[in-house]
Amino acid sequence: MNWNLGRPNPRDPWTRFSSYKWLIARRLAAAVARTSPYARGRLLDVGCGNNRRFAGYFDVEKYTGLEYPFTLGNDDSPVDVFGTALALPFADGSFDTVVSFETLEHVTESATMIAELRRVVKPGGAVIVSVPFLWGEHCGPHDYVRFTTFGLRHLFETAGLRVVRQERVGGFWTFHGQRMSYYVDSVYGRRLGWMTTSLAFGILVCASLLEGLHPVETEYCMSVIVGTRDAE
């Protein structure tokens, strides 16, 4: 049995055991960390958020964060450039690496965004993306689509990216454990405090045990993919 609690991320408070979604957050952190050998040089983070939560995993020359205007409210300190993923404000081949985490599902034109990521990466460079598959609606109304691993691979290959790594993250039990802990926190979180935290922790530990005992390959929370732009 492979009992895997994932990997803590100092930049991501959701990976703390006091969080109600630490299991998927830790498993995603571990999956992203495994993509780090593909990153180098100048890196662009499309949809960097307010903390660039995976920046610590990439040993690169320069890290540039891009975010859509108005997304972060008053906390825009991690953002170097404001813009849209559908028309990136950079010249062709400006970066050696382009990453984007849980952003693709929030744009209206998925293929256009992947084509833009490919456009701004240099020949020989890598594009690293993570997206949800089994997950609830969030950040509404700007939550448009979910991706299977096959659909995501098709997007990359159609855009001219060669897929060199792909991984499913958080299986059937992780998904259902997370949905249960979300419910517990949303209904009882403010009233029961530490009891809610303890209950959510227990649910997620059980989910992790069940995942190790009986993994289900076709049902998973999200996926991570790495594609390279071949030299021209």
Where do the structural domains in the chain lie, given as residue ranges? Answer: 13-171+217-228
State mean pLDDT over 11-38.
93
pLDDT of 175 over the 80 cut:
yes
Residue 170 has a pLDDT of: 92
Is the per-residue pLDDT at 192 higher than 70?
Answer: no
Q: Which of 134, 141, 144 is nearest to 106 (CA)?
A: 144
Q: What is the mean pLDDT of residues 12-36?
A: 93
Q: Are strands 121-132 and 42-46 parallel, antiparallel or unpaired?
A: unpaired
Average pLDDT over residues 103-129: 97
Q: How far is Cα of residue 19 from the mean position of the Cα atoms in its chain?
A: 17
Residue 77 has pLDDT above 80, yes or no: no
Whether the CA torsion 40, 99, 32, 219 is positive or negative: it is: negative
User: Does 62 or 7 have the greater pLDDT score?
Assistant: 62
H-state helical runs in 77-193? 110-120, 149-159, 172-192
Question: Which of 16-25, 155-164, 183-192, 223-232 has maximum average pLDDT?
Answer: 155-164
Domain 13-171+217-228 has what CATH class? Answer: alpha beta
176-205 b/e with 16+ CB inside 10 Å = b?
Answer: bbbbbbbebbeeeeeeeeeebbebbbebbe
At 74 the pLDDT is 52
**230 pLDDT tier (thresholds 50, 70, 90):** confident
